[in-house]
Amino acid sequence: MPRPMSFKANSVIYFRGDVSDKIYILKSGRISLNSNDIETGQEIHDYIQTGEFFGVKSAMGKYPREEDAVVLSTTTVIQFSVPEFEALVSQNTTLIMKMLKVFSNQLRRIHVKVSSLLAEEEHVDPEAGLFNIGQYYLGKKRYVQALHAFRRYLTYYPSGTFNQKANEFALKAEQFAQQYGAGKGPSIQGLDSSVGGTAAKPDTGRQMSDAAKQYYAAVSVFSQQKYAEALRSFKKIAEESADEEFRIKSLFEIGRCFFNLEQYDNCIKHFKSLIQRYPKLPELADALFHVGQSYNEKGDQEKAESFFQKILSMPGTSETVLRKVRRAMKAAS
Amino acid sequence: MNLEAFERFAVSYEPGEIIFCEYEPGDAFYLIQGGRVQISRIMGDIEKTLDVLQQGEIFGEMAILEEAPRSATASAIERVKCLEFNRANFEILMRGQPAIALRLLKLFTKRIYDQRRRFMILTLDDVQARVADVFLMLNEMQVNPAEEEMDERVFQTTQDDVAHWAGLSSEETRHVLNHFVSQRRLEVQKDQIIVKNINEFIRFVSSRRKQ
């Protein structure tokens, strides 16, 4: 049961360092909580108002008291155990809300103090920080996590410093997640885990090739739905680049540009010749899907159907493409 | 606890899915209803697990205060179901479920204490005292009556953890630890560090603290 207690001037209700589960409310009189500022060591006196609780944090958290509770004039307090205190405040949510605000304020203040002492070593601009998280996961081939981070980046910083790269990497993460799955796939070019941060590390062999740069720039244009412009860029890479990987990648993207430009005949022609030249194209199923969809758009459902059936019968087709095919077949029927 | 009334705040996550990312602005906090949640930070080239939380626990609570960037990443270890609250619906929750409000209150007392304690370490100028004080803090956190009477303490901790708490670089920390080892005040093993005489460390730290 909560019980009233009386104290004479100059008595001490508790000392700093004491561990106790008692919480008090001041009914009448005057009390000062004396402590030392943790930063300067200066003595601090906090006077308790009538009706105010004290000793709450240390009792609830079972921590040593951080102050001496000194009685200044004849005083009456009511003493609660932690369960009694909890039962009381549960009936009074306004009181809890008030305390939460007080505590959160204290927490914020101490947080700021700690951060200021750690300032030199831990200061990372949140924008660069978030982008780096994406890069970290992408580097570890954890594509779903990387995609999440880059998408959040693009949501919060739509015109941010790393916007273009975040776009490219998000696309990569999405593509690799479907194509290879977590933990698999080739390493990704152009990651630089130290942008804007302090974790500077020697960076060797991570420079993006010119072909890669051009390719990802074009991918970015594509993702902005500027298909005609993307088409020109991909064509340029496909014709001029010395890097076969990006030449083939660009050839594939050219087909997608045709499709999105609604040039279905060009799309069909382009993918058919691409598949003839590179029968082992990594994106073979996706290429066939675009051919099927192009026939669909042209109203030739029979031909579309035959391409879709072919994809369904191919071993090792990714679940994403299969889903797209099934959806397209359902829509057509 | 009956939380059916809060079903409209329920959100689910697949294994491995990120709930929120370090550095992302936060505007919500979560109460776990099922599944485990990993709290981690990326330090250099490794992802370090800070905590694993389960049903009934709260995370992301700093967002109630302000939309500060998240200080860690939260992700689902298995399939996770949470209730998600933001400042707008926070009061509804608190009024309907004072027990959660109380839990939050306790969480804040713990956070305040931890941060104050951390701050105490960082205010020490002497790097040896700082490292020693990290062990005192760890000692306060792992109260074990069986050990009370003894001088020796075993801590399941690593050099990197100590460096993190002391606010020192890995090299500085290793240097100090080696110094303690050479004085036979400490033993460093693979994933534990043994303090030979915790009381001697207490005296050492208090002698270095400004009064």
- Other Cβ atoms less than 10 A from the Cβ of B199: the count is 11
CB-closest option in A57, A110, A148 to B119:
A110
A93/B98 Cβ within 8 A: yes
Count the Cβ atoms, other than its own, within 10 Å of residue B210: 8
CB-nearest partner of B105 from A66, A100, A140: A100
Q: Least CB-CB distance to A136: which of B42, B94, B119?
A: B42
Integer Cα distance of A138 and A132 in angstroms: 10
Residue B200 contacts residue B185 (beta carbons within 8 Å): yes
Q: What is the pLDDT of residue A206?
A: 40
Q: Which residues of A touch B116 (CB under 8 A)?
A: 38, 66, 110
Which A residues, 93 through 122, put their C-beta within 8 Å of a C-beta on chain B?
93, 96-97, 99-100, 103-108, 110-111, 113-114, 117-118, 121
Instruction: With beta carbons less than 8 A apart as the criterion, state whether A142 and A182 touch.
Output: yes
Is A114 close to B122, i.e. CB distance below 8 A?
yes
Q: What is the pLDDT of residue A280?
A: 80
Query: Which residues partner with B43 through β-bridges?
Result: B46
| Residue A120 confidence (pLDDT) above 60 | no
Residue B22: phi and psi, rounded to 5, are -55, 140
- Rounded to an integer, what distance in angstroms lies between the CA atom of residue A110 and that of residue A56? 18
Taking the CA of residue B171 as centre, how many other CA atoms within 13 Å lie in the half-sphere pointing to its CB?
0
Indicate the residue of A41, A106, A111 with minimum beta-carbon distance to B210: A41
Q: How many helices (H) and strands (E) does chain B have?
A: 6, 11
Q: Which of A108, A130, A144 sits opposite B21 (nearest CB)?
A: A130
Residue A117 has pLDDT above 80, yes or no: no
The pLDDT, as a whole number, for residue B211 is: 55
Name which of B22, B106, B120 is nearest A61 (Cβ-Cβ).
B106
Phi, psi of A158 (to 5 degrees): -60, -25
Three-state secondary-structure class, residue B167 = coil
Q: What residue of B is the nearest CA neighbor of A147?
A: B18
CA A318, CA A23: separation in Å to the nearest integer? 62
**Domain chopping of chain A, boundaries:** 3-91, 124-202
Is the pLDDT reported for residue A121 higher than 60?
Answer: no
Across chain B, what does the average pLDDT equal?
Answer: 87
Residue of B nearest to A157 (CA): B24
CATH number of B4-117: 2.60.120.10
B78 touches chain A (CB under 8 A): no
Is residue A32 within 8 Å of A72, Cβ to Cβ?
yes
Query: Over the stretch B16-61, which tens digit does the pLDDT of each residue have?
Result: 999 999 988 888 889 999 999 999 988 777 788 888 999 988 898 8
Question: What is the pLDDT, as a whole number, of residue B140?
Answer: 84
Classify residue B191 by its DSSP letter. S
CB atoms within 10 A of CB A42: 9
- pLDDT band for position A3 (50/70/90)? very high
Query: What's the pLDDT band for B175 if we cut at 50, 70, 90?
Result: very high
Exposed e or buried b for every residue in B117-134, given b needs 16+ CB within 10 A?
A: bbbbbbbbeebbbbbbbb
Instruction: Tell me, yes or no, if B115 comes closer than 8 A to chain A by beta carbon.
Output: yes
pLDDT (0 to 100) of residue B90: 79
In this prediction, residues B149-169 reach a mean pLDDT of: 87
Is residue B191's pLDDT more than 70? yes
pLDDT of residue B33: 93
pTM attached to this predicted model: 0.61
Residue scoring higher pLDDT (A91 or A68): A68
Q: What are phi and psi of B196, to 5 degrees?
A: -70, -40
Does B206 touch chain A if contact means CB atoms closer than 8 Å? no
ipTM: 0.78
Looking at beta carbons, which residues of chain A come within 8 Å of B64? 100, 104
How many beta carbons lie within 10 A of that of residue B47, not counting itself?
A: 19
pLDDT band at A130 (very low <50, low <70, confident <90, very high): very high
Q: Where are the alpha helices (DSSP H) in A91-162?
A: 93-117, 119-122, 126-139, 143-156
In chain B, domain spans: 4-117, 123-208
Judged against a pLDDT cut of 50, whether residue A202 lies above it is answered with no
The yes-or-no verdict on residue A123 having pLDDT over 90 is no
Q: What is the pLDDT of residue A203?
A: 36
**Mean pLDDT rounded to a whole number for chain A:** 85
pLDDT in tens, B50-68: 889 999 888 988 776 666 7
Phi/psi of residue B162, each to 5°? -60, -45
Report which residue type is found at B65.
L
Say if the Cβ atoms of A110 and B115 lie within 8 Å: yes
Q: Do B105 and A111 touch (CB under 8 A)?
A: no
Give DSSP secondary structure letters for B44-108.
TTEEEEEEEE-TT-EE-GGGGT--PBPSSEEEESSSEEEEEEEHHHHHHHHHH-HHHHHHHHHHH
CATH superfamily of A3-91: Jelly Rolls (2.60.120.10)
CATH second-level architecture of B123-208? Orthogonal Bundle (1.10)
Chain A: nearest CA to B174, how far in angstroms?
17
- In chain B, the N- to C-terminal Cα span, in Å, equals 47
pLDDT confidence of residue A122: 53
